[in-house]
Structure 1
C-alpha cells in the first residue's frame, strides 16, 4: 500500500496520519524513545530500519507513534519499537499501529517481547505468552579465569557455519540480521572438534555495549562466550537480555550485571521450531529477538 493510501485510510478527528516508516522519521522516533527513557541511539534506530520495516503516526508533522517488524524468511518475524507518545496514549493509537503491523507481516508468525503495559494490547490480538526475558546491565567485573583455547574471534570465513548454527538454535532465517550485526560489532566463536558450536556478538548499542545474540549448547558454554566478550571490552557499560530459563541470572549478577527489568515473550502463531543442540542464551535485543 502506498503512502498516499495510508494517509487516506489513516485520518481521524485529530488529523493523525499513519505512514510507512522512512529515514525522514528517524529523528522523531529518537525523540519519542527518549521521552520513554528507552536508551536507543539514532544509530540503533537506523539499523532497525535498515533491517526491517514499519509505520509511524504523525500529527502536525511530529512523530507520535512507531511500530516496526523484522522478517525472518517467509514464515516468521519479530516485532518491536512499538511506542506511543505519553500525551497521545489512551486514544487507540497503539492498536492502530499494531493492526497495520500485523497486516503488513501477515501471514508470518510474529514474536515480540512485551512490557507489562503492552500485554493487554497484544493479548487482544491473539498473542500468547511463551517465556520471560531478564535484562541485565552494568559495568562488569573482569574475569581472572584461565584463558580457553577453544574460544577466539570469529573469522569471516565462518559466517556460513554461524548462520546455520543460529538457524538450528532459533528455527529462524536471520542471515541478513547476523551479517549486519557482525559488520558493526565483534563476533566470537566457541569451537568443538575445530568447528563452531557457539557464538556471541558484542556491539555498540544504547548506553554502551550489548552482548547478543549468544548461542551455545549449555549455560557453561554461554558463560564462557560472554566472559570472553567482556574481557575484550574493558570497564564499559554492558547490557545483555537473557531468557529466564538460561540459568545465567545469578552468574551475571555476580559479575556486576544487575537484573533491572523483565519482558514477556509473546507469539502470534506457531513458535519457530529449533533443532539444537545449541539454543539462544542472549538476545540481539528485545526487538530483534
Structure 2
C-alpha cells in the first residue's frame, strides 16, 4: 500500500507542547514566513498561553499554534504557522484542533490571514468583524492637544488594579495574567485620568524587532484614544503599527491624517459563538495573536 504525504505526516510528526528550548526554532519558522516573532514575545506566549508544535524526525519545529484562555468566557487562537515545505499534510488542521479542543465549550476568537481563512471556516469559525492593520513610517501628529483638565502619565504600580478593571470592561473577558506580563514588557505606557482623578483609559507601546506596536488602546471615545496614541507615538522615532477594529471610523480617519496607512484588513473570526462581547471602548487590540 502506498503512503501518502498526509499519512506520513500524521504517522511521523507528533504534536508537543513547546518550551523555552524551542524558541530559536520558532523564530526560524517565523522568519521563513516573513513574520517577526522575537524571543521576548515568544517567552510571553509561553508564560500566558499554551504553545504547541509539530516536530519532524530531526526534532525541528515545523508548525506552531497557541491558545490563550481568558477566564472561562473567551480564548484567543494565534501564532498559527506551518513550514512552507510541510503544507498540504494536514499539519495546520491538526495543530489548530489541538488548541481549540482544549476548551471545547469556550468561544475562541482569532484574526485570520487570507491563507488561513478556508481552514478556519472548515473548523466552524465565522467572520464576526474586521481589523485595520495600520503602519506609519513617519508619524505626524494631527491630533489636538489633550484637554488640560485631563492627566496622562506612564503606568504606575498603583494603577494596575484599575487597568485590569478597565480592560475587563472593554475586552469582555478577564485577561489579567496576560496584561500584567504585557505591561512589564511595554517600552512605553500611558494612562488617562479625568478631572476628578478617575482612570478612563490606557495604552501600551511594545517594541518588536521591526517596529513599535501600539496596543491595547482603551478609552471612552475616539478623541481620548487619539490622545493616548499620540502620547506613545510622539516619543518614538521609527515605524509604528496599530490594529484598529473597523467600527472605529473616527479614530481611523484621525490616524490616516497622522501618517498611518492600511496594510491589510484581516477578518476577525469566532468559534462557539455568534458575536464577540461589546468592545466600544477597545480602540486597538494588543496584537493579533492575543485578540
Give yes or no for TM over 0.5.
yes
Q: Which residue of 1 aligns with 2:136?
A: 138
CA contact (8 A) 2:128 2:276 kept: no
Q: Which residue of 1 aligns with 2:74?
A: 76
Tell me the CA shift for residue 115 of structure 1.
0.8
Q: Which residue of 2 aligns with 1:58?
A: 55
Q: Which residue of 2 aligns with 1:236?
A: 238
More strand by share: 1
CA RMSD of aligned residues (A): 1.9
Distance in 2 between residues matched to 1:105 and 1:80, nearest whole Å: 15
Distance in 2 between residues matched to 1:181 and 1:51, nearest whole Å: 10
Structure 2: stretches of 5+ with no match in the other structure: 1-6
CA contact (8 A) 2:192 2:202 kept: yes
Distance in 1 between residues matched to 2:166 and 2:220, nearest whole Å: 10
Secondary structure in 2 matching 1:179: helix
Residues 1:133 and 1:272: Cα distance change in structure 2 (over 3 Å): closer
2:263 to 260, 263, 267: 260
Distance in 2 between residues matched to 1:262 and 1:206, nearest whole Å: 22
2:97 to 99, 103, 111: 99
Secondary structure in 1 matching 2:34: coil
CA contact (8 A) 2:13 2:55 kept: yes
Q: Which residue of 2 aligns with 1:31?
A: 28
> Runs of at least 4 residues of structure 1 off by over 6 A?
none
Distance in 1 between residues matched to 2:32 and 2:110, nearest whole Å: 21
Residue correspondences, number? 277
Matches within 5 A, 1:1-289: 12=9, 15-59=12-56, 60-143=58-141, 145-146=144-145, 148-149=147-148, 150=150, 151-185=152-186, 186-192=188-194, 193-233=196-236, 235-247=237-249, 248-270=251-273, 271-274=275-278, 279-289=281-291
Structure 1: stretches of 5+ with no match in the other structure: 1-9
Q: Which region of structure 1 is more displaced relative to structure 2, 134-143 or 210-219?
A: 134-143
What's the TM-score once normalised by structure 2's chain length? 0.89
Tell me the CA shift for residue 100 of structure 1.
0.7
